[in-house]
């Protein structure tokens, strides 16, 4: 990056630096599927990573927002920590592996990353000479409202219609469609609920977004 987010800070003592074995992507290619980018380093005053073979780093003072979100994964929800810099460049760290599957090892690595990152940012806040970092969780209020309405309509149509057909005819096919619609609808509803917009205290990480 040739932007403020890429300012190279002075290297701290090695003992103060920790590299977390987490998979990530950036706003340059916002997809978690088949990602080979792995390992994010956190130091006392900056965060560093290597994306597609190119090293990059940004001082904490250039972080303007940290947003925790939940995404659909292969067999369970994927947790995402989206870090936004002053130039709007973003790095998105996940608790999933290269195929967006949240394995036990990656979930543990993600929790370690989250506690380390927020602890460092909290310590840095005392000397920060820019507006405080915004700590958010979920989607924007507008997006969340739109998704909630769409999910409700989806459930009304794809659950209501098979249910009505089953009650009127007693056939098995509408019942099978009803069960499938209920399963999919429940997943969408849980995903929307998990991304309800809110703020959080970096000293008290939301446990429901760390599992």
Cβ-contact 39, 20 below 8 angstroms:
yes
Q: Residue 57 and residue 17: Cα distance in Å, rounded?
A: 13
Bridge pairing between strands 46-51 and 134-137: unpaired
Q: Confidence band (pLDDT; 50, 70, 90) for 72?
A: confident
Supply the Cα-derived Rg of the chain in whole angstroms: 20
Q: Which pTM was predicted?
A: 0.78
Give the CATH fold of the 4-138+197-209 domain: PH-domain like (2.30.29)
Q: Which helix (H) or strand (E) holds 163?
A: helix 141-169
Q: Confidence band (pLDDT; 50, 70, 90) for 188?
A: confident
Q: Where are the domains of the chain?
A: 4-138+197-209, 141-193
Kindly list the distances between the CA atom of residue 75 and the CA atoms of 12, 32, 99, 101, in Å, as whole numbers in the listed order. Answer: 40, 15, 11, 7
pLDDT tens per residue across span 17-52: 999 999 999 999 877 777 889 999 999 999 999 999
With residues binned 3-state (H G I as helix, E B as strand, rest as coil), the percentages for the chain, rounded to 5, are 40, 25, 35
pLDDT tens per residue across span 158-177: 777 777 776 777 777 766 77
Judged by average pLDDT, the poorest of 53-67, 146-160, 163-177, 178-192 is: 163-177
């Amino acid at each position: 990056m040739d932007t403020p987010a890429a300012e190279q800070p002075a290297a701290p003592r090695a003992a103060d630096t920790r590299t977390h074995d987490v998979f990530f992507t950036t706003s340059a290619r916002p997809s978690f599927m088949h990602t080979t980018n792995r390992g994010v380093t956190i130091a006392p005053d900056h965060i560093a990573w290597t994306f597609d073979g190119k090293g990059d780093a940004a001082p904490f003072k250039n972080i303007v927002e940290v947003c925790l979100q939940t995404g659909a994964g292969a067999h369970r929800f994927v947790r995402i920590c989206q870090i936004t810099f002053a130039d709007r460049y973003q790095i998105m760290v996940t608790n999933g592996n290269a195929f967006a599957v949240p394995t036990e090892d990656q979930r543990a690595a993600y929790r370690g990353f989250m506690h380390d990152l927020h602890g460092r940012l909290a310590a840095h806040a005392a000397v920060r000479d820019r507006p405080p970092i915004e700590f958010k969780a979920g989607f924007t209020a507008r997006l969340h409202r739109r998704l909630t309405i769409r999910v409700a309509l989806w459930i009304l149509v794809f659950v209501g219609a098979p249910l009505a057909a089953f009650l009127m005819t007693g056939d098995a096919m509408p019942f099978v469609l009803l069960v499938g619609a209920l399963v999919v609808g429940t997943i969408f509803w849980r995903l929307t609920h998990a991304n309800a917009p809110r703020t959080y205290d970096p000293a008290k990480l939301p446990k429901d977004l760390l599992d």
